[in-house]
Structure 1
């Protein structure tokens, strides 16, 4: 039968359902300019008294513009954004002195929400606490919430879009974080795009894949009912621009001062399975993880596989390698699983594709073999299960008894 090497092992490999469509985002701070005059023009074209009046007027106009701009925006310079939190670095405003221009999620004291720059949050389903950093639990569900608001007092945001990107697999290393980023943009907004992040850590021994459980939905202060949002446009690798959002529907228009929320839930899927090999002399009662039988005895071998994770496992394979001195008895192999509860005969036990298994699904393979090795021999039957998420091996030691054995 050749060398016995399970061909699938190591970490799980999952499809990235989100993708990373954006490179680094420029972080630029909004600013304003005062009125500037050319010294050469002023000094060369006016008398001294006129020059003084001109310079004084320029200073008054410049500072009046600055004070008026600051009054209208109630500017408070927000903390610097970063690729690990929110961005870009931008001016923050107070709720009672919102800007006239279109700008998303830049109010620092929204009475109903708080700091709008922190607009993406997550929590475990059933918990009251919204978090920016979440430690994943295997099999748990999490709600993701994305708040949006056009902070303008007068102007509607046009062609408004939302996109979520990031990997979907959290590796089994608590020091690494899986980061998701939401981008909100509009054709007439300044800055043109804002973003915020949440992160997930995985303190478990298995890799975890985050999968959409409840489809994305949008609710706003104008809508009577929630609106379904395409997860393929919001989250998929195929989406570059994201999905249109709006306060009256998915039309891209977010009215001045209006707000809304897009939410969805994910489940922390994890691959895990059990596998064991047991044997007994044919006709005896108890299955054992190691057996002692005499030469010529017919033994029964039982392999048990079960999906104990939360993910479906596909193309599961069972492999057997019988040692020298042990002969498989053809026609005795029976596979029992959900599709074959009464059992189905299989012709070969060396390498069998036993199908796909949902969480909790199980399979049993039983067959007979005859012990031909001389007394006092030590044999080892090797068995393995292979999945797309790894492999596992189970050894069954068999000792051949005899009157002269030590």
Structure 2
């Protein structure tokens, strides 16, 4: 599945508690030859490890083991190496499997739990920083779903749109110099009201930052007749047509997107600094975990590749070596960082992934607290 399918609702469903075992498999992959030749071997080895883990776990019944293995076999047959990105995530239980090709690297892991391992998908969503792009003019309106990988045209939610009656010739008016008159036409005003209303439904279903791309006259008219031009993350005063391609539109957006992403990194840094001064800062896994359990975390920042296997001991977390964990040990949490992220999201908090070693002084994880 594509990264832009990672809606908040999808992630919430994936985090839901399931009958044990819910199996999660992650591994790095490669987009191109010759590096991608190793991916098939790595996947076979991980699938074999998954089978051994299922065989050795006393909590897994024979029926459940066979069912999960069958789902893994179906998943392996369904993986398309031509779509490989930086990592592969396979999720399987007795009833289903899911395959996610993710544009962020992930370590080799096989995890059995009562929910899927979602931290790599959450990281992909956070890192991709999904956004919407509306490119529009008097004779068309197209919606695009944006990620770090580029733009994808949206063919639902009511888009693309075109006015019901076109009583003007944009090319003739452009040649004669009276193109602004298009945007004083009542039919165009009504069309832009329809565009704004349709956009409202999209943003209500999946809130994302919104970039608007259109001629200055179009941007001005949309602001005049609707609500979303004033609340857009950025407006790019460039003309587009119904035939504008994704690469062409991405080139026009590039400066605005670069500035927006840098602002996002700086905003996380500033929020952590402000929290330290306001005494609403928590650092270290144990402290942040306790605050998350109390619903006090507004934002958690986690180093990109930080993971930890722990044992719960009198309300505190004790790190353990995964190699020392016996199969079926119910006292061990294989990825407490993933559980931390899930807890924060379920309580309405935000998650930000930061560069490795950037939180070295705070135990690889830090949080801004609500109180």
If the TM-score is normalised by the length of the shorter chain, which range does it land in? under 0.3
TM-score (norm 1): 0.22
More strand by share: 1
- TM-score normalised by structure 2 residue count: 0.24
- Bigger proportion of residues as helix: 2
Instruction: Look at both structures and tell me which one has the larger radius of gyration over its CA atoms.
Output: 1
